[in-house]
Amino acid sequence: MTHRRTTGRRAAVAGTGVAALLAAGFTFQTANAAEATPTAAPHTLTAPKAEKLAATLAGHLGKEAAGTYYDAKAEHLVVNVTSEKAARTARAAGARARVVQHTLAELKSARSAVAEQTTAIPGTAWGVDPVSNKVVVTADRTVKGAKLARLTAAVEKLGSKATLKQSKGEFKPFISGGDAINGSGGRCSLGFNVTVGGAPAFLTAGHCTEAIDNWTDADGNALGSNAASEFPGNDFGLVKYSSSVSHPSEVDLYNGSSQQITGAADAQVGQTVTRSGSTTGVHDGEVTGLDQTVNYGGGDIVEGLIQTTVCAEPGDSGGSLFAGSSAVGLTSGGSGDCSSGGETFFQPVTEALAATGAQIG
């Protein structure tokens, strides 16, 4: 990564930040997650309704809940459970149930165990995957030799609870995305327009606001100054507008139109999402993981990220991830590109809003 920040055109919507893109996608294993035979057809649900049902069931199922994901093709919520009794409860609520081998507590313990190695090895990412019912650890192409051997041994020690994947790309932060915002010596992109106490502001990536304090649009007109910044750990920044520039709550679709954003939502594994960025425009993909941790190197470890199959390239970082009219994430990092494909990590917008006291709009 250089310290020059690069982003896209106008300053009304999408965002940039870190786009270290993961080239290799997940190949989900289901050998240890045999699905129980359903007694009733699961309900057809939109992703937001599936998210609400997942939250409700988590409270009812307690320790027998082992994660959920959204089957976008069938439009079903899939609920992992550890007993047939819990499976009946999930089915009665309208979900599709799977009786799996590992509890969520076991997987979180395995995640903590492998973190002892991954936090010391740059170029790694790790998190619980509800589809495979495992902890998936990914190593980029820079992890080799003794480091790869150490990582392999740590994963193998966890047996069926974990699996190791290797990426052809390299995890590294980029800077740019949606609509262009510029600063001294660099360029990023605006994520989402928000208000704080009624005053207009916007969210972008935290690694952008860590490097640049004052922002202008693509034409050099003043936009505003940083009000909050978190990176590493999290990856979001808040910039308060200091000018009268128009700041609608929408995302640039790069085809002469825009998508209105009316609120924010948490991501759901299996959900279809869209990313807008200044380098590659608009691309779709699927959420493949939640609460992911990525070690970008140099001590820059970011936690709690959304992982997707959406491609991105340098200049897309910080860009907006959305689903319909809901803001979902800010581009953080990954590997790959939009010619050969890739995988991207995003900072959840709901967390950024809660931390800064901002509201979409």
Catalytic residue among 235, 252, 316, 337: 235
Q: Is 247 a catalytic residue?
A: no
Structural tokens at position 135: 């902890």
Q: Is 112 a catalytic residue?
A: no
Distance CA 85, CA 94 (A): 15
Q: Is the backbone of residue 159 left (phi > 0), alpha (psi -120 to 50) or beta?
A: left
- Beta-strand pair 76-81/96-99: parallel
Report the Cα 222 to chain-centroid distance in Å.
30
Distance CA 206, CA 296 (A): 14
Catalytic residue among 317, 320, 326, 335: 317
Nearest to 329 by CA among 279, 292, 280: 292
Kindly give, in sequence order, each residue whose CB lies less than 8 Å from that of residue 149, ignoring residues fewer than 6 positions away.
none
Q: Is 243 a catalytic residue?
A: no
**Could you tell me if 283 and 14 are in contact, meaning their C-beta atoms sit under 8 angstroms apart?**
no
Handedness of CA 101, 106, 108, 111 (dihedral sign): negative
- Torsion angles phi and psi, residue 45, rounded to 5: -135, 145
How many helices (H) and strands (E) the chain has is answered by 6, 23
Kindly give, in sequence order, each residue whose CB lies less than 8 Å from that of residue 155, ignoring residues fewer than 6 positions away.
114, 137, 162, 163, 164
Catalytic residue among 102, 129, 189, 207: 207
Task: Please state whether the peptide bond connecting residue 232 to the residue before it is cis, i.e. omega within 30 degrees of 0.
Answer: yes
Residues carrying an active site annotation: 207, 235, 317
